[in-house]
Amino acid sequence: MILFGVRSPLVVDVEETLHRLAIEIVAAVSVNGSPRLVDRSKLVDVADFAAPPGAPFLVTAFAPARRRALVEQALALGLVPASGLVDPSAILPRSLRVGVGGFINAGVCIGAVSILGDHVLVNRAASLGHHTMLGDFVSIGPGATLAGNIRVGAGSVIGAGSTILPNVRIGENAVVSAGSVVRKHVPDNGFVTGNPAMPQRFDMNRSSLMTEDGE
């Protein structure tokens, strides 16, 4: 396995999972940032990396945009996405479908008839209910809870410890802030926070978060 882009703290969890599964790290490629690896014996800068054609890779970045950019860079070097990496402590149903390049971290629990797209990240101790569907490049934070029949659009982030109530739809490239409780649909590119979660926007002049009505 080649780890591509190793500046995210998440890389240490990936290392642990690979160790538990007895999967060898062939190379850990550093791309524009300080590496967070525990074992740096396989570390190599991307400028010095001679990519073995067709070798499987996994990207460890949490932010979807960063992960997407690293995937594109790895593909351009002739690497291919690895099959989804699943920690052995995760509880998964037989009916689960997992795309390529994803990582399901330790302690995750996923309900039946769920579908995870390509390059999806589900972080530690998150819980996904039955009939959950995650689009490509979705990131689920540690301890997040998604109840049954949830749809999360491509490129979205569900923050740590947040709760998504049943039958809610999260649009593409949306962000649910950590600790939020989401009771209603979130549109594409939306940003919500709080309990109950409310839409927010950035005021570039004040450099602060504001609700949609300006409060």
Q: Which residues are catalytic?
A: 130
82: DSSP letter: P
Q: Which residues, including other chains, have CB under 8 Å from residue 114's CB and lie 6 or more apart?
A: 93, 95, 96, 97, 128, 130, 131, 132, 133, 134
Reference 27, options 12, 14, 44; nearest CA is 44
Query: Three-state SS for 20?
Result: helix
C-beta of residue 53 within 8 angstroms of C-beta of residue 38: no
Length of the chain: 215
State the virtual CA torsion across 78, 79, 80, 83 in degrees, nearest 10: 180
C-beta of residue 1 within 8 angstroms of C-beta of residue 58: yes
C-beta of residue 86 within 8 angstroms of C-beta of residue 96: no
